[in-house]
Amino acid sequence: MQNERDPVGRVRLRDVLRLDVSKVHGAIAARDREASPAARVLLRLFDEPRRRYKTRVLYCPPLPLLWSFGPGDGSAASTLHRVWARAVWRERGFGGRALLLAAFAVWPFFVAGTSFWLLAVNGAAIRRRTGKGRLRQAAEHWALAARHGILPPWYYIYDLFDDANRARAGEYLRRDETKGGLFRLLKQPSAGRRLFDKRRFAIRCHKFGVATPPSLVCRKGRIQSLGDAPPCLPRRDLFVKPTRGQGGGGTQIWRFEGAGWARGDDSPLGEADLLELFRQTSRSRAFLVQPRFVNHPDLADLSFGVLSTVRLMTCRDEAGDYEATHAVYRMPKTPEARVDNIHAGGIATRIDLATGELGLASDMGLRPDTDWWSHHPHSGVPIRGRKLPHWPETLALGLRAHAAFPKWAAIGWDIAILADGPVVIEGNSAPDVDLVQRPCREPLGSSRFGELMAYHLLQTER
C-alpha cells in the first residue's frame, strides 16, 4: 500500500498570499514539509512561533490585538476577542511581544498582497452582483483588516460585501482566534489526544457504546480489532484513513471484487495477502481500516458515492449538560470528489436543528462562480427544503458522544446518516468556524455557541 500524499498538494507562495485555507493550514499542521522555501519563510513569519504557546497568532493582526484590550461592549463576541488577546499577550515574554509589535511593519504588505490577489479573482463578479467596484471593495478590505483582523479572503467567505453582514463583522470568530487559541485554552490538561488520534478515538467510542464504524487498528506491525474477535476484513469495500490526519488526506478505498480487494487498476488481493500488506505498511505509519459506508438511500443523490456527513457542534452548557448549537450538512460538488470537505471543493448547507431541514448550499465563497444554491449545482437535485432522515437520532448521538468526552467544552462531530441510523465518524476538538459561519450565514460570536464559549473561558480565567 503506497503512502499517498495529502490531496492539497505542495504549498507555494501564492497559496499563502491568498490564504488558501486547506493548503496553508495543512502546511502548518505538517510543519511546512510540503511548503516551498518562499512559502515556508512567510508561514514562519505569520505563524509566530508555532509550538511554544497555547495561543497561536496566525497572520498577526496587530491592530485588533491591541484594540481587544479595551473595555469591550459586554457581548459574547467581544469577550471572546478580549480573552484571546489577553492570552496572547500573557503567554509571551519580552521577545515575543516585541515580535508582535514588529508585525505592524509587515501587516500592510500582507493585507495588500491578499487584497490584490482576491480582487483579481473575485472583484468583477462582486461588482456585477452588488455594484461595488474594485476600489470600494479594496477600501472595505482595509477597514475590516484594521478594525477586526478579518483579511480579504474572509470578506468573500462571509459575504461581507453585503452591508448588513459587514455591520456585524465584529461578531465573527476568526480561525486564528479559535483553532489556534480559544479551543486550546478550553482544553483540560488531562484531556489527552483522544479526539485528535483516530485510534484512541475509536477505542473510546467503542468503550462507551457510541455508534462508530467498526475498525481495525493497524499500528507498529500489528493489526487489532476493537472488540474481542480476531481481526478480519468485511466482505465489502474498505476505507483506510491515517490515525492522524485532516481534510481527507492519505485516505484510500479498496474495492471488494468477490475474490479479493483491489485499488485502482491493481490486481485483487486475498484477505491474508491484504492483511499482511496492512501489517507491513503499519510499521511506518498508523491507520484504521473500516467498511466503506454509503449514505441513507434518501441522500444518495447528493453524495455521488462519497460519504456525506453532518457537522454537529455541541457544547457543555452552564449546568454541565450538553447542547447542540449548530449543524451543517456537507456534500461533494462533483462526482470526481473524494471527500465531502468544503475546504476540498465541496459544498455545505445549514441544517435546522429542530426539524433537520436543509437550507441553501454554497462552497467557501472564494471563486467568482460562487452562489447560494437551492438545487445541487452539478446534478440539479433539490437541496433546500429536504429533511434529513434519522434526524432526532443524529442529535441524540452527538450529545451522547460528547458525554463520552467530557473534558472538552466544545466539539464538532462528523456524523454520517446511514440506512440503519447515524454513526459518528470523528470528533474535532478545534472545529473549523468557517465551516459553520459560511453555510449558516451568521457569526458564531453572537450565537448560543459564542455565549457558551465565553462562559467557559471566563470560568477558566478565574
Q: What is the pLDDT of residues 330-370, one digit of tens each?
A: 999 988 877 788 877 899 999 999 999 999 999 999 889 89
What is the CATH number for 393?
3.30.470
336 and 388, same domain (yes or no): yes
Return the pLDDT at 44.
57
31 and 165, same domain (yes or no): yes
Q: What angle do CA 367, 137, 140 make, to 5 degrees?
A: 120
In a domain, 423, yes or no: yes
Distances from the Cα of 346 to the Cαs of 313, 349, 435, in angstroms?
Answer: 19, 11, 11
User: What are the tens digits of pLDDT across the range 25-59?
Assistant: 444 444 445 556 665 655 555 554 445 555 655 55
143 and 265, same domain (yes or no): no
In a domain, 61, yes or no: yes
Q: How far apart are CA 382 and CA 110, in angstroms?
A: 41
Kindly state the percentage of the chain with pLDDT values over 90. 41
179 and 91, same domain (yes or no): yes
356 and 417, same domain (yes or no): yes
Return the pLDDT at 57.
58
Q: Show the cell assigned to 40.
A: 515556508
Domain-terminating residue out of 141, 166, 186: 186
User: What are the tens digits of pLDDT across the range 377-408?
Assistant: 999 999 999 999 999 999 999 999 999 999 89
286 and 402, same domain (yes or no): no
Q: Which domain holds residue 222?
A: 214-291
Return the pLDDT at 253.
85
User: What are the tens digits of pLDDT across the range 114-143?
Assistant: 899 899 999 999 999 999 999 999 999 999
Return the pLDDT at 310.
97
228 and 265, same domain (yes or no): yes
Domain-terminating residue out of 291, 313, 330: 291
Spatial CB neighbours of 49, under 8 Å, sequence gap ≥ 6: 96
The strand pairing partners of 362, in sequence order, are 348
Which of 63-67, 145-149, 216-220, 395-399 comes out lowest in average pLDDT?
63-67
In a domain, 250, yes or no: yes
39 and 150, same domain (yes or no): yes
In a domain, 300, yes or no: yes
Distances from the Cα of 338 to the Cαs of 5, 124, 157, 265, 401, in angstroms?
Answer: 14, 31, 23, 17, 26
Return the pLDDT at 1.
40
In a domain, 439, yes or no: no
* The total number of structural domains that make up the chain: 3
218 and 169, same domain (yes or no): no
In a domain, 268, yes or no: yes
What ranges in 19-157 are assigned the alpha helix state H?
A: 21-29, 37-46, 62-67, 76-91, 94-130, 134-148, 152-157
pTM: 0.83
Residue whose grid cell is 456524523? 415
User: What are the tens digits of pLDDT across the range 194-226?
Assistant: 677 777 888 888 888 899 888 788 888 888 887
181 and 222, same domain (yes or no): no
In a domain, 434, yes or no: no
In a domain, 396, yes or no: yes
117 and 100, same domain (yes or no): yes
20 and 125, same domain (yes or no): yes
* Terminal C-alpha separation, the chain: 51
* Averaged pLDDT score across all residues of the chain: 83
